[in-house]
Amino acid sequence: MLIPFIPFVGFIAYPVLLLVWAFSNDTPPTKKNWARASLVIILIMVVLFVMMLSYGFNMIMSGEFSNYMEELYGIKEFY
């Protein structure tokens, strides 16, 4: 679980290691199930992140963010 904290390679090494454990034939079943569950959770988190990022980007581009800032904080122009 600490592999993602290795600088520069951790964010790549962890999913690769999970893929190896999830789809290898000589991996114990408990580790295989844990790796598959971890991959599903990572996939769900990535999808949620992309959805929130696209919503925020759409809000900024449509001008709703300026209206929100004006109503919330009284800021007329927000850059």
In the chain, where the domains are located: 8-73
The residue with greater pLDDT, 27 or 5, is 27
CA 50 to the chain's CA centroid: 7
Per the confidence metrics, is the pTM higher than 0.75? no
Residue with structure tokens 């581009």? 61
Average pLDDT over residues 57-78: 73
Angle between helices 64-73 and 29-62 (to 10 degrees): 80
The residue with greater pLDDT, 78 or 66, is 66
- Give CA angle at 68 (60, 70), nearest 5°: 115
- Count CB atoms within 10 A of the CB of residue 35: 19
In this predicted structure, the answer to whether residue 60 has a pLDDT above a threshold of 90 is no
> pLDDT averaged over the chain?
86
Residue with structure tokens 């893929």? 19
Per-residue confidence band for 24, with pLDDT thresholds at 50, 70 and 90: very high
